[in-house]
Amino acid sequence: GEKVEQHESTLSVREGDSAVINCTYTDTASSYFPWYKQEAGKSLHFVIDIRSNVDRKQSQRLIVLLDKKAKRFSLHITATQPEDSAIYFCAASANSGTYQRFGTGTKLQVVP
């Protein structure tokens, strides 16, 4: 079946450095790629998304890149802060699909 794969299960960066989390997808019809953040003991909340009509989107310190040819997208967090520490989930869905398919999550630890 169709999959979304998240390549880094854990990632540790120093405060102030950048963090990059990579995902790939298999469904060529995928057109919407959201990212969600899950802080310790809490549920998921949306952080940023990108649609297939663009290849880059930025919201403050978050940048999402999309490479449709490689079926790959990534979340870049610049100037990381301790509050960025969390599990990040990528997801993908097709316009004609009914639900978002999630990656397995990347636990990001920002070390002071």
Partner 1 sequence: NAGVIQTPRHKVTGKGQEATLWCEPISGHSAVFWYRQTIVQGLEFLTYFRNQAPIDDSGMPKERFSAQMPNQSHSTLKIQSTQPQDSAVYLCASSLGTGSSAETLYFGSGTRLTVL
CA 43, CA 13: separation in Å to the nearest integer?
23
The CB-of-53 to partner 1 minimum distance in angstroms stands at 11
State yes or no: residue 95 binds partner 1 (CB under 8 A). yes
User: Coil, strand, or helix at residue 27?
Assistant: coil
State yes or no: residue 31 binds partner 1 (CB under 8 A). yes
Binder of partner 1 out of 12, 17, 39, 45 (CB under 8 A): 45
Q: Tell me which DSSP letter residue 82 carries.
A: G
Do 17 and 80 contact (CB within 8 A), yes or no? yes
What is the binding site for partner 1 (CB under 8 A)? 31-32, 34, 36, 42-46, 49, 51, 89, 93-95, 97-105
